[in-house]
């Protein structure tokens, strides 16, 4: 758990980026306003997490999942966020699935290349053995 209340705040850089994205260009936000927004965002995240945890506990689980968070948003009367959150979740899942498939393809390609390389090494070893045998045969014929 957090030792100080400040430990629960979101990073200032993240808050500043969110504020800049939400406001039109040329609008300045004071340091005190950023601090207030940061505290409000932290309280919102903690409250949402607590509500989502209640759904997980009702489900006899210790791990929060996306459906817990979506249910918490509805319980907190933030239904207007549920649609965009579901869309973002789908995009995230598609991205993760694409990354996972790309990683599998990369691993398969690396395995295939390793097999090719070992075959080449085996062939090289066979070639060297054949050459040695030929030299030994020639030496025996000379003797």
Task: Tell me what pLDDT residue 65 has.
Answer: 94
Instruction: Please state, in angstroms and as integers, the Cα–Cα distance from residue 93 to each residue in 82, 87, 97, 100, following that order.
Output: 16, 10, 6, 10
* Residue indicated by tokens 């997980």: 56
Angle, vertex CA 69, rays to CA 64 and CA 71, nearest 5? 120
The mean pLDDT of the chain is 85
What local confidence, expressed as pLDDT, does residue 89 receive?
Answer: 94
pLDDT band of residue 143 (cuts 50, 70, 90) is low
Q: Which CATH class is domain 1-77?
A: mainly alpha
| Residue 72 buriedness (CB in 10 A; 0-12 / 13-18 / 19+) | buried
pLDDT above 60 (res 1): no
pLDDT value, residue 54: 96
- The confidence score (pLDDT) of residue 106 equals 81
pLDDT of 23 strictly over 80 = yes
Residue 116 or residue 95, greater confidence? 95
- For the chain, the structural domain boundaries read 1-77, 81-142
State percent of the chain over pLDDT 90: 51
Task: State pLDDT tens for residues 45-99.
Answer: 999 999 999 999 999 999 999 999 999 999 999 999 999 999 999 999 999 999 8
């Amino acid at each position: 758990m957090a030792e100080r209340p400040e430990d629960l705040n979101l990073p200032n850089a993240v808050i500043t980026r969110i504020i800049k994205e939400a406001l039109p260009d040329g609008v300045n936000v004071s340091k005190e306003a950023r601090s207030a927004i940061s505290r409000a965002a932290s309280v919102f995240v903690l409250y949402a997490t607590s509500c989502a945890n209640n759904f997980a506990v009702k489900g006899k689980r210790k791990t929060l999942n996306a459906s817990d968070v979506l249910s918490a948003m509805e319980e907190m009367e933030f239904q207007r966020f549920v649609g965009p959150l579901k869309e973002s979740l789908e995009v995230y899942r598609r991205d993760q699935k694409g990354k996972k498939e790309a990683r599998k393809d990369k691993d398969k390609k690396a395995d295939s290349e390793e097999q090719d390389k070992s075959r080449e090494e085996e062939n090289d070893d066979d070639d060297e053995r054949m050459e040695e045998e030929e030299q030994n045969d020639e030496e025996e014929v000379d003797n």
